[in-house]
Structure 1
Amino acid sequence: MEIVDKIKPFLLVEHDSGSMSLILTVGAYKHEIFETRADEGFEGNGYDWGSLAAVFLTEKMPQLIDRIHFDPEGDMFCAYSDDREALELFTLGFKDACEDAATIVDLFSRAELD
């Protein structure tokens, strides 16, 4: 199975510069996780995804912290890197974490509102 299929609904986008971005249009995927902390102001927007991804990166893949960067918007989560291999590794790990209910809820419990 290709990485494209493994990471849906996330998308990897290659840029002419050689860098690569991970994109998620927010709203439907895993929205129920963000609803658990709606009273704190979480909406499931791109910034909330960025906070969740930052906790994942710090705790699960600290070796990639200097190579993965975030640039979320209101309706979109975006991570990017000049290191394709690092971004693919992050992407696969983050998607696996999102698909494991206990892991993602645990990580989200430490996400901070942006």
Structure 2
Amino acid sequence: MHPLRLIESVPGKYSLLLDAGTTQVDDVIEELGHTPNGYFWEGVAQLLVSTEAPALEGRFSYDPEGGMFCAYGADRSALEELGTRMAAVAADADRMRRLVTAAEADGFEFDD
């Protein structure tokens, strides 16, 4: 799940975290006209849920900041699945390009 990490903040409550600016695809994100901050990664998470894993919809919440992506909730397995999906994108420049290009073609706006 690297570069993401899943922590248990209090018993039964989990946070999926990604420090912005630490992925292998940061340069690609910038080439595509975006800032690899927490808000951009929230958009990535939303896209992955809507296009690849709709069963995850509503099973956690988002709370990104400029320097960090955060999804949180009580459903550890849902956050683990999201983390695995996001880690795959964070390590694959071609997949990131395809994701952003398709999203923008569909009218999706990243909030970065």
Give 5+ residue unaligned stretches, structure 2: none
CA contact (8 A) 1:20 1:80 kept: yes
Structure 1 length-normalised TM? 0.81
Quick one: distance in 2 between partners of 1:15 and 1:61? 25
2:19 to 25, 28, 33: 25
1:58 to 31, 50, 53: 50
**2:95 aligned counterpart, secondary structure:** helix
**Aligned 1:39-50 pairs, distance under 5 A:** 42-50=34-42
Greater relative contact order, per chain length (Cα 8 Å cut-off, separation 6+):
2
CA contact (8 A) 1:55 1:108 kept: no
Q: Does 1:112 align with 2:109?
A: yes
Percent sequence identity is: 34
The one-letter code matched in structure 2 to 1:112 is: E
Q: Does 1:9 align with 2:6?
A: no
Aligned pair count? 105
Structure 2 length-normalised TM? 0.82
